[in-house]
Amino acid sequence: MPTRVIQNSFAGGELSPALYGRHDIEAYFKGAAKIENFVVQKTGGVKKRGGIVQGHSFATVTHTGNDGEDIALIPYRFDRKDGGVLVVTSGMTGTARWNRVFYLPKNSEGSFVPPDAGIPDVYLTQGYYIHPPSLSWEQIGDTLLLSGENGPETPGGTAPSPSLVSSVMVNHLSQTFTVSNYAPSAQPATPYYLGYSTQGDDMIVSSTSSRARTLYYAVCAENGGVRSELKKLTVANTNAEWPAANSITVTAKIHPAADGTYPEEIVFAKRSGALYGELARLQAGDFTAEGTDGALPYRSYIFTDENHLSGTPLYKQTALVTDPAGVSARCVMLYQQRLIFGGLPGEPFSLLCSGLGDFRSFHADRPVSDTDPFRFTIATDSPATIRYSAPYRESILLFCDTGVWRVSGSANEGFSARTCQVFQIADIGCSPRIKPVKTTDGVVYVGADNRTVYELRYDLARDTVTPSERSVLSDHLTEGREILSMTHQRYPASVIWFTLDDGTFLSLSYQPEHELYAWARHAAMPDTLTGTPVRACCPGTVSGDHSDVALLCASSAWALSYDPPASGSCYMLASLNPAVNSDGDEPVRAELVTLRPELPDRNVQGMQKNVIDCLIRVRDTRRLSAGPEGDADPAQVVAAADDEEAYTGNVKIMPRGAVNEDGRMSIVSAAGPCEIQCVVFKTEIHQ
């Protein structure tokens, strides 16, 4: 008697051939033998992926290679719908490496707007090099902060070190940007006021008409107590330490103005916006001494601060960043109103945190207050270079070579040197060249082998964040290949895209709340100007009810708007758009191959059986061919013309099968939209 085998979901995705005999697992009855250029939907069906829309073509000059691994795409969000992509390339002149960067905005239709005059020669990091695959970035308002390493890993060579952090300020409306090195704010070289500050700023002195030649100052706490040793500051900014005392005497030498008059008042006052008020106000006649300093006359004014108590701990203010060129780090992140840099020079497992609410403040007082900048180190028994970071559940996750660490502060007192907590949650290292992706309620990252994909999510039973491998059922898709980049497309369905080193790309339909982790393979059409292979991807912009994905394609066949260099590679920045059904001018060809139909309720392995017929439920489909896998001439079961309404309904196939034939069906959409909802087999089993 014939038996119906219904497959109404493909939520298992394309399964590895190693699982073809595993009829005891649920994934077999939701999987497929091949899903190419289809994307598994959250409803369980499969729908043809969007087409690749041609964008802006460009060429790299004196390029170090044409494999696309030294070009990075960085998304820039102007608002919910508008944005663009920052492209970072690299090159070499002699033995010197450099980066070049340009910005391509998108219009309201989601298409790239190329610059009017080709690629601008804007160089990144001002003489310092960042290896593009190692790039980490953080957007703060209209500014992108970029960090990474100054070179690739070389076997037997010198390990790369952190690069200088670059600041790229983007003006989306005018399609322009400026590049500079990120530099912390400096202590004042010639300050003018004396006073208390909630941020621990220097106490300094000034007159109302002329600059003091010699200034004596100290750093004070919020309660008025001195927090640093008394120092002497000259115009040349030379500091000299003074010993502790029961009180501090501040002396100011005031020179007269050009007309020989002295100021009417000498004010020892707080900085603007500080917590405490004026300390002292001396009149012009209150000077204690006068004389000449070389040829310049002066008067000395003295103020004594009685807040310096005996026994108060006295330390100097500490500059956490000493490099005059800026900050060097492997990764950058924002957490609880602090800017944090990870993977520091000589300390790859240390982090540097800015002052609270001041992203350029890296001067810490001693003793440290909860608002001060600070640095800390991961305690580990093995080398742990911090590569990337991602925010997750009121904490940040640090991805290292040897595992993942979670950093958090206090729920009631915030994040500071006193409340900082660090502990390891996984011993699975991350890829050194692929930035993890933050999803709605999890983080997805690629392992150190560049092919295994893991997900970090909160486990209520264990009360911690735990890793789970999400490529275990489809590991054949990356066998012999490596992942180059990944990105998350949120609309119309949640999909994570991966680009591979052979030019193809993968999709992972990702809906954890619905237990949907479905993989599919993809490839650009070979005869289109979009070009192959695809080398990198990043988030695009939201347009209508969908969002697109920016793709970097490599090709040598494009007609560029300018003459390509003698030595270089040609690329195109394109969009993967769900609203389009073709790659350039060539329709996308998609194929679904089902698994051998088996019964989910009983084991019929080893029994003789054959498929009598097959019914396919389709929706909004124009052209569809189906037949047994390997059939050289499959029957065209749907053929709606472009001016006709797309077909929705059932189509039946009568396979030319025999007893014990495999029974797998190949369903091909050669052009136009296509969505397959379910497949029903009528199978005859011979006892």
The pLDDT score that the predictor gives to residue 437 is 92
Task: Give percent above pLDDT 90 in the chain.
Answer: 25
Question: What is the number of alpha carbons within 13 Å of residue 23 lying toward its C-beta?
Answer: 13
Q: Given a cut of 50, is residue 203 above it in pLDDT?
A: no
Is residue 149 a contact partner of residue 134, using CB atoms and an 8 Å limit? yes
Question: What is the number of alpha carbons within 13 Å of residue 80 lying toward its C-beta?
Answer: 6
Dist. CA 66–CA 59, nearest whole Å: 10
Dist. CA 64–CA 458, nearest whole Å: 42
The stretch 254-279 carries a mean pLDDT of 56
The pLDDT score that the predictor gives to residue 41 is 94
pLDDT band at 251 (very low <50, low <70, confident <90, very high): low
pLDDT digits 0-9 by tens, 411-448: 888 899 889 999 899 989 999 889 999 988 899 999 99
The radius of gyration of the chain from alpha carbons, rounded to an integer in Å, stands at 33
The pLDDT score that the predictor gives to residue 677 is 95
The pLDDT score that the predictor gives to residue 477 is 95
The pLDDT score that the predictor gives to residue 201 is 33
Q: Given a cut of 70, is residue 340 above it in pLDDT?
A: yes
Dist. CA 641–CA 191, nearest whole Å: 78
pLDDT digits 0-9 by tens, 45-58: 999 998 888 777 77
Give 3-state DSSP helix, strand, coil % of the chain, rounded to 5.
5, 45, 50
Is residue 36 a contact partner of residue 520, using CB atoms and an 8 Å limit? yes
Q: Which residues of 265-280 are buried (b: 16+ CB within 10 A; e: fewer)?
A: ebbbbbbeebbbeebb
Q: Which of 177-181, 226-230, 353-357, 537-541 has the highest mean pLDDT?
A: 353-357
pTM: 0.78
pLDDT band at 266 (very low <50, low <70, confident <90, very high): low
User: Comparing C-alpha atoms, which of 639, 542, 524 is closest to residue 582?
Assistant: 524
The pLDDT score that the predictor gives to residue 497 is 93
User: Comparing C-alpha atoms, which of 644, 638, 651, 653 is closest to residue 677?
Assistant: 651
Q: Given a cut of 90, is residue 592 above it in pLDDT?
A: yes
The pLDDT score that the predictor gives to residue 280 is 58
User: Comparing C-alpha atoms, which of 589, 590, 584, 581 is closest to residue 572?
Assistant: 584
Which one-letter amino acid corresponds to residue 364? A
pLDDT band at 367 (very low <50, low <70, confident <90, very high): low
Is residue 467 a contact partner of residue 428, using CB atoms and an 8 Å limit? yes
pLDDT digits 0-9 by tens, 473-504: 999 999 999 999 999 988 888 899 999 988 88
Dist. CA 265–CA 283, nearest whole Å: 5
- Mean of the per-residue pLDDT values for the chain? 75
pLDDT band at 472 (very low <50, low <70, confident <90, very high): very high
Which one-letter amino acid corresponds to residue 203? M
Dist. CA 208–CA 281, nearest whole Å: 11
The stretch 394-423 carries a mean pLDDT of 90
The pLDDT score that the predictor gives to residue 522 is 93
The stretch 163-172 carries a mean pLDDT of 84
User: Comparing C-alpha atoms, which of 627, 626, 613, 614 is closest to residue 674?
Assistant: 626
The pLDDT score that the predictor gives to residue 604 is 73
Q: Given a cut of 70, is residue 650 above it in pLDDT?
A: yes
The stretch 140-146 carries a mean pLDDT of 89
Sequence-separated (6 or more) residues with CB below 8 Å from residue 576: 49, 50, 51, 52, 53, 489, 497, 537, 540, 548, 549, 550, 551
pLDDT digits 0-9 by tens, 8-64: 999 999 999 999 988 888 999 999 999 999 999 999 999 999 888 877 777 665 444
User: Comparing C-alpha atoms, which of 290, 215, 224, 291 is closest to residue 250?
Assistant: 215
Pairing between β-strand 13-14 and β-strand 31-32 as defined by DSSP bridges: parallel
Which one-letter amino acid corresponds to residue 230? L
Q: Which residues of 462-495 are buried (b: 16+ CB within 10 A; e: fewer)?
A: eeebebeebbebbbbbbeeebbbbbbbbeebbbb
pLDDT digits 0-9 by tens, 73-92: 888 888 777 788 888 887 76
3-state SS record for 528-561: CCCCCCEEEEEEEEEECCEEEEEEEEECCCCCCC
The pLDDT score that the predictor gives to residue 243 is 33
The pLDDT score that the predictor gives to residue 680 is 92
The pLDDT score that the predictor gives to residue 621 is 93
Give me the DSSP letters along 257-303. Answer: -TTSPPPSEEEE-PPTT-SS---EEEEGGG-SEEEEETTEEEEEEEE
Domain map (residue ranges) of the chain: 2-38+596-686, 51-182+492-587, 206-305
pLDDT band at 250 (very low <50, low <70, confident <90, very high): low
pLDDT digits 0-9 by tens, 93-138: 666 777 788 888 876 666 676 655 444 556 665 556 788 888 899 9
Tokens standing for residue 670: 């050669």
The pLDDT score that the predictor gives to residue 120 is 54
Is residue 116 a contact partner of residue 140, using CB atoms and an 8 Å limit? no
Tell me which of 258-262, 349-353, 536-540 is least confident.
Answer: 258-262
